[in-house]
Amino acid sequence: MKRVFACVGFSMAVALVVLCFVKPEYILILTVGLTVLFAVSLVLPKFRQAVVLPLSLASAVTACLLYVGFTGLFVQPVQALDGTTVDCTFYATDIGAVTSNSKGYCVKVTQMNGEKTNFNTYIYTDSRSNLRPYKEYNGRMSFFSIADNPFLSYGKYADRIYIAASCRLTGESGKTINSPYRYIVDLRQSIRNKLLYIMSDDAGALSVALVTGDKSYLDKSIRQAFTYSGMSHIMAVSGLHLAVVIGGVLYVLKRFKLKPWITNSVCIALTLLYMALAGFSGSVTRAGIMMIVMLLAGLFSMRGDTLNSLGIAVTAMCVSNPLCVTDIGTVLSVLAVLSLVTLYPHFSKRMFIKPEDPLFLKPKEKLYIYIQKAISPVFVSISVVIYTLPVMYLFFGYTSVVSPVANIIAVPLGSICVVASLAVYLVSLLGITPITAFVVLVCEFFDTLLIKVCTFFAQAGNVVLGLDYRFGVLIAAALLVVAVGFAVGKNKSVKVAFAVTGCVCAVCFFILLFNGRSDVFMRVFPDGAIVCTYDSKTVVCGVNTKGDYYKVKSYLQSNMLYVDFLVADNSSSYCAMLCNDVGINTLLCDEFDDTILSSADCQRLEVQSVYNVLLDDDYNLCYNQGGVTLYIKDFSISTYQNADFTVNSDTATDATGCIELKNGMVDYRISSKDSYKVRRLNQWQK
């Protein structure tokens, strides 16, 4: 078996992803079951000789043991602090991120109430606070949970942060923490300050994001444009950036005709430095490990294998941090590379032709080669989209329709921007003003061009495709067809399976794109919060608890919904927090609260006890002293009176009866009051 690490790494990663969704009481049962299957695979000669099955099962069992041990030792003790307020001593490990009314820092807590401890957390401080990295501070922290599920933490679990806190600083101890990483943080801060100072606002913020991965200085509209167009991966420091930087250095060093061991050693050192500069994010760590494996293979005159190198990277990351699989950037990065190694070659074999004589190309052959080079990026994008669609469905619920085309332009343009941004910083250190001004001008041109390209694609009609339960059925069917093809074991069967799957996916894709746009989509959350969308108009109400706040925030962000009206029923605290996280047009409440003034970031504030507004021709919002009624088409949805759909903090009532909300979220898709579907746990019924 040539690709042992590929089998081990992917088996561990899949097992860890599954474990993140399994209830703790069932993990032991799953571990025992996998152990029994592993033992059976060793006993049966047919499976033992195949090697793949026993190795995969052994890797899955190892993943279970790692997960149980890691969560028991590191995660659960920290999560037990939820809801407590403690006096802490800590130091910041980064330069912080700026929000509308606060600053956020990753910190290491060294003492709690005078007792020594050691764990990471993310704190929010007053916007006037300015924590210096690796300087020790004292403060009073009020801890709160980040998410109910590791995948809803947006990568914080992967960064070993399992709880967050609001912090009121009480003083500085004056102690400086000695750490080699302190110098990396200083370098990152120097790059950030220099680029923001000498470049224009948007271009400087984009350059900072491209070089360091810090997107907090980018305008919200630009961040949304990158997301809508499917180009946000360009700002995540990963293989693209590392390949550009290390590839450029490798090219220069080879021109000096240095010995291979010197060239590769320098590139390995630079790879580690760049990984540290990017904060060892999941995507750059994956790319860095693969790069180092390839360079080491060259150092020992060995042939590198991309799939095995990817497996080594995945294995190393899973062993060092079993929750690394919860970083969506890492998952998408791994799948993108996997698609280029396994799927794209099938396209290229049929796309490229061998000329009769490569030294004397015929005119037709030259033309065909030019066409091949032109359309090759299209098939690269299609390969990546095919592999990442299931993840987009599971964790986001949407995908960008224009991303395959947009990335053909954005990827090479982003590479130029990365090089130009690094050049601006390096040249600025020389202190030669005319040269610096010229390089800044060039960098700003390409940065601005990238923003314009991104905005152009984001503003195209129907750029985002929502992926509902039907897409889940489609994925399951497609995987089943491919699995049958591989089970038969014949090349012809596999090809037919892929062809049938591709045709089914293409047909369903366009059906989903244009079907159901006139329906009403309503999600009801466990504590009674409602998100109702009709014809691109969205109303949110009932966000009164921490649990619903997290779930509503995740739902709005993952489906990229802009809220037209956010109604604050009882307390405006969670609504004000929500205003800082998603786009809000109008915040509506029946009495003024100082929390709104200090925390809310919305376009308009309405303080009314009774309020009526027409959102669309068939969409009317009525507000009466905290109660909300929505009139859409020929039916009504209300939180306080009898209607076709009535929702309170405990139940959702429709024509078929009462649904208990405590058991989980409920999705409605409504065509009319007599024609609707309701879903709980991915099962639809009339």
Cite the beta strand spans of 337-450 per DSSP E: 398-400
For 376-423, the pLDDT digits (tens) are 777 777 778 778 777 776 666 667 777 777 888 888 888 888 889 989
Provide, rounded to the nearest whole percent, the portion of the chain with pLDDT above 90.
15
- Radius of gyration in angstroms for the set of CA atoms belonging to the chain, rounded to a whole number: 27
Whether 681 shows a pLDDT value over 50: the answer reads no
Find where tokens 């409605």 sit.
668
Helix, strand, or coil here: 459? coil
H helices present in 429-468, as ranges: 433-458
Element (H, E) at 636: strand 635-638
For 449-485, the pLDDT digits (tens) are 999 998 888 776 555 665 555 565 666 566 556 555 5
Q: In what order do the strands lie in the sheet with 610-616?
A: 610-616, 619-624, 627-632, 635-638, 645-647, 651-654, 657-660
Strand duo 537-541 + 563-567: pairing: parallel
pLDDT at 5: 83
Cβ neighbours of residue 571 under 8 Å, at least 6 residues apart?
A: 544, 593, 595
Q: What is the C-alpha separation between 351 and 368, in angstroms, rounded? A: 10
For 260-287, the pLDDT digits (tens) are 888 888 888 888 888 887 777 777 788 8
The CA-atom distances, in angstroms, between 488 and each of 51, 484, 495, 496, 582 are 19, 6, 11, 11, 49
Answer for the pair 563, 556: CB distance below 8 angstroms, yes or no.
yes
More confident residue, 565 or 304: 565
Structure-token pair, residue 211: 């070089």
Element (H, E) at 165: strand 163-176
More confident residue, 641 or 607: 607
Q: What is the C-alpha separation between 462 and 537, in angstroms, rounded? A: 15
Whether 214 shows a pLDDT value over 60: the answer reads yes
The arithmetic mean of pLDDT across residues 66-93, rounded, is 92
Q: What is the distance, to the nearest Å, from the Cα of residue 531 to the centroid of all Cα atoms in its chain?
A: 22
Phi, psi of 57 (to 5 degrees): -65, -40
Whether 649 shows a pLDDT value over 80: the answer reads no
List the helix and strand counts (H, then E) for the chain.
Answer: 22, 24
Burial of 155 (0-12, 13-18, 19+ CB in 10 A): buried
The arithmetic mean of pLDDT across residues 139-163, rounded, is 84
Q: What is the distance, to the nearest Å, from the Cα of residue 682 to the centroid of all Cα atoms in its chain?
A: 22
DSSP string, 29-85: HHHHHHHHHHHHHHHSHHHHHH-HHHHHHHHHHHHHHHHHHHIIIIIHHHHTTTT-E
As beta bridge partners, residue 135 has: 176
Q: What is the C-alpha separation between 135 and 179, in angstroms, rounded? A: 11
Whether 441 shows a pLDDT value over 90: the answer reads yes
The arithmetic mean of pLDDT across residues 184-196, rounded, is 88
Most confident of 84-98, 504-518, 591-605: 84-98
pLDDT at 632: 87
The arithmetic mean of pLDDT across residues 546-565, rounded, is 79
